[in-house]
Amino acid sequence: MRNMTMFEMNEHNKDCPVCVTEQIIDGKKYIVKSHFIGEKDIDTVIRNIAFTRAMSEAIGLQAA
């Protein structure tokens, strides 16, 4: 699949869920708009994060 322009991606993913949040960082307001297009398996992502964190903690404990 070729690279799409931002307009093409918006059209392609227009029916996907969207979440808009406001974040304040150093007194400046940022609006974050997340598009959930379903290209990642959340179970795999969370499992990888948990494994990486557990390994870094285990290695950190061994060094102490």
Binning pLDDT at 50, 70 and 90, where does residue 38 land? confident
Mean pLDDT (the chain) is 85
Across 29-60, b (16+ Cβ under 10 Å) vs e yields: eeeeeeeeeeeeeeeeeeeeeeeeeeeeeeee
Q: Where are the beta strands (DSSP E) in 1-64?
A: 18-25, 28-35
Judged against a pLDDT cut of 50, whether residue 64 lies above it is answered with: no
pLDDT digits (tens, 9 = 90+) for 9-32: 888 888 888 889 999 999 999 999
Among residues of the chain, what percentage have pLDDT more than 70? Answer: 92
The pLDDT of residue 15 is: 86
Task: Burial-class residue 13 by CB neighbours within 10 Å (0-12, 13-18, 19+).
Answer: middle
